[in-house]
Amino acid sequence: MATKVKRARKANFSDRECVKLLEIVDANIGKLTNNNNTLRANGDKKAVWKMAAQELSAMSLVQRDDEDCRKKWR
């Protein structure tokens, strides 16, 4: 039998990271809740999440990606 290797999980979001994420989402809520499915609207949404991930990664030791931020916001 093959043994499964557990991957290390990321640390939980800190309170500072949650507050910063809320500030970023609040500042860009118009772009994130845009119901248009155009390439431009989707590109804007991806850019906001990528920017949020960069800012959160810069303020903590844990590297966050855009998918982590999106999941946390939901």
Overall pTM surpassing 0.85 (yes/no): no
Residue 37: per-residue pLDDT: 80
Averages of pLDDT over runs of 10 residues in the chain (74 residues) are 78 89 90 83 89 89 88 88
Residue 41: per-residue pLDDT: 83
Q: Which two tokens stand for residue 23?
A: 């500030």
Concatenating the DSSP letter of every residue in the chain gives: -PPPPPPPPPPPPPHHHHHHHHHHHHHTHHHHT----SHHHHHHHHHHHHHHHHHHHHHSSSPP-HHHHHHHH-
Residue 32: per-residue pLDDT: 85
Residue 27: per-residue pLDDT: 92
